[in-house]
Structure 1
Amino acid sequence: MTNAEPEPQENGEEELNKAIEELKDVLHEETSGISGEAGSFASNPELVMSIPVEVQIVLGSAEMPVSQLMALKKGSTVSLNRRVGEPVEIVVNGRRIARGEITLVEDDPSRFGVKLTEIAGRASAQ
């Protein structure tokens, strides 16, 4: 694998396309019955906001031959292409949207999260 943006997963992309088509159908049905209004989209933004998306935090990747993959067992370590301290990538439906750093969750130190340090298309704002 390379450091390029992850390829969209075919299954995830199909699910997203299906959700978009369903949304278009719902919006079309709702707006066709409304006269004199701007449409249900403007008056019902929760419809769009409730669409589920898949969020992934990518720590890194590794490339290895199948023989090495098949030799992995419990306790094996896979070296990733990133170093400690390098930013992780936040990927939504196969597209990188941000970068961040691993951090402990304030109200639950047994869990970790990601603090956003850069949003795609914008310079780092701190």
Structure 2
Amino acid sequence: MISDPGNGGGLGLEEMDAPERDGPAQVIERTASDLEAVFDVPVRISVVLGRTRIPVAALLKMDIGTVVELDRQVGEAVEIFINERLVARGEIVLVENRLGVTMTEIVKAG
């Protein structure tokens, strides 16, 4: 028991030893039903076509019809972000008059 007798009893925290392990940690397998509580949590998916940097003076000169050159080539993979974290790359596709993206690579965390 960890407590300071001078503080009127204190928090009364108890010291405990961690259980001993004889081998490597067990891997706990999860199934889709284990994650059911988070299935309806919304996430933001963003697809980045490309980026560029320009001086403020050039930005102020922009008007309708101005072309902004990006750092990507036509046909080059776009980046797919979930909640601002890069998770995949893909190709732009047309889906019934709307833009879509086909995932071509999953980015490993690290």
Equivalent residues in 2 for 1:1-126 (5 A)? Answer: 45-105=35-95, 108=96, 110-121=97-108
Question: Cα RMSD (Å) of the superposition?
Answer: 2.0
Segments of 5+ residues of structure 1 without an aligned counterpart are 1-41
Higher relative contact order (CA 8 A, sep 6+): 1
Question: Residue 58 of structure 2: SS of its match in structure 1?
Answer: helix
Q: Quick one: distance in 2 between partners of 1:85 and 1:43?
A: 39
Which structure has the greater CA radius of gyration?
2
Identity %: 47
Segments of 5+ residues of structure 2 without an aligned counterpart are 1-31
The residue type paired with residue 50 of structure 2 is G
Q: Quick one: distance in 1 between partners of 2:33 and 2:65?
A: 54
Shift of 1:104: 1.4
Q: Quick one: distance in 1 between partners of 2:44 and 2:107?
A: 17
Q: How many residues align?
A: 78
Question: Residue 102 of structure 2: SS of its match in structure 1?
Answer: strand
- Tell me the TM-score normalized by structure 2: 0.64
Q: Quick one: distance in 1 between partners of 2:33 and 2:62?
A: 53
